[in-house]
Amino acid sequence: MFFDSHCHLDMDHFAADLDAVVARAREAGVSRMVSVASEVARFDAALDIARRFEGVSAAFGFSPFEAAAADPALLAPFLDRPEAVAVGECGLDYYHDIHPPELQKEAFRLQLRMAAERGLPVIVHCRDAWGDMRFEIDAAARRFPGLRGVLHCFTGTLSDARFFLDRGFLVSFAGNLTYRRSDELRRVLLALPRDSVLFETDSPYLAPEPLRGRRNEPANVARTVAFAASLFGEDAAVTGKRAFRAASRLFGLEEVP
Ligand SMILES: [Zn+2]
């Protein structure tokens, strides 16, 4: 029982064989996936995928790359669909040379508010912006008590993770957890309460070892969970089930399918 809390099934990488990709996920025990719309122009395609495949839910939002296009009128109709389980991904990215921080923050705040208004969780992207992200999440948690979310593909410190957990957010680990240089990330994982941790593939990116560099797909979340389970010293089924429950709670899905 595995849950891929973050993948991008609408991307061209999957256009030719999406049915087989989802079938392989199910065979690997990955019965639920949140497919995050990769860009505004793909909202319709992303919705279509969630409607087509049992166990696949959708998230819609403006990533930091599209901060300049963050128009609530474009997003609202998709958030109001029953297939939508989260707003995102949205957040701050100071690693890539994209929009200025102020513009990114404006788009992020808009989406935090839209999530709070609808009682939806937020899928947060953060790259090299941990200080500002702390400030934004703290402000949002004060302004919207009950707002929940997840820091996806977490790469921050243990202190960052605890800061977000204290404000009602979870953290999600992707395939980079398995990479040779990720000792710090593994240390963070081991120090956190296990029921505050989700797992994801971020497909088609970040394939876990030994598949690093290849196209990633949701079936591979089982590998990252098994890797985490070996760090925890427990059975992969135990780790998988715990994360499945945590993800289901966050996204408002039944805890036992
Ligand atoms: Zn993503």
**107-154 confidence digits (pLDDT tens):** 999 999 999 999 999 999 999 999 999 999 999 999 999 999 999 999
Question: Ligand 1 center to residue 55 CA distance, Å?
Answer: 18
> Domain for residue 129, yes or no?
yes
pLDDT at 121: 98
Q: Domain of 162?
A: 2-250
Residue 255 forms part of a structural domain: no
Name the domain count of the chain: 1
Q: 7 CA distance to ligand 1 centroid (A)?
A: 6
How many angstroms does the Cα of residue 204 sit away from the middle of ligand 1?
A: 9
Sheet holding 56-60, edge to edge: 2-7, 30-36, 56-60, 84-93, 122-127, 149-151, 169-173, 197-199
Mean pLDDT value of segment 227-246: 98
Q: Is residue 210 a contact partner of residue 220, using CB atoms and an 8 Å limit?
A: no
Burial class of residue 45, CB neighbours in 10 A (0-12, 13-18, 19+)? middle
Give the pLDDT confidence score for residue 5 in this predicted structure: 98
CA of 36 to the centre of ligand 1 (A): 7
Q: Supply the pLDDT for residue 134.
A: 98
* 178 pLDDT higher than 60: yes
Q: What is the pLDDT of residues 45-98, one digit of tens each?
A: 999 999 999 999 999 999 999 999 999 999 999 999 999 999 999 999 999 989
Mean of all residue pLDDT scores within the chain: 96
Is residue 257 domain-resident? Answer: no
Which CATH number belongs to the domain containing residue 47 in this structure? 3.20.20.140
Q: How confident is the model over 236-240, as a mean pLDDT? A: 98
How far is ligand 1, taken at its centre, from the CA of residue 90, in Å? 9
Question: How much helix, strand and coil, in percent to the nearest 5, is found in the chain?
Answer: 50, 20, 35
Evaluate whether residue 256 is within a structural domain. Answer: no
pLDDT greater than 80 at residue 256 = no
Report if residue 143 sits inside a domain.
yes
Evaluate if pTM is beyond 0.85.
Answer: yes
pLDDT of residue 255: 78
- Ligand 1 is an ion; its neighbours by CB within 5 Å are 202
**Separation of CA 102 and ligand 1 centre (Å):** 22
Residue 45 domain-assigned (yes or no): yes
The mean pLDDT of 230-256, rounded to a whole number, is 96
98 located within any domain: yes
How many angstroms does the Cα of residue 250 sit away from the middle of ligand 1? 17
Residue 238 lies in a domain: yes
Give distance in angstroms: CA of 162 to centre of ligand 1.
Answer: 22
pLDDT in tens, 179-225: 999 999 999 999 999 999 999 999 999 999 999 999 999 999 999 99
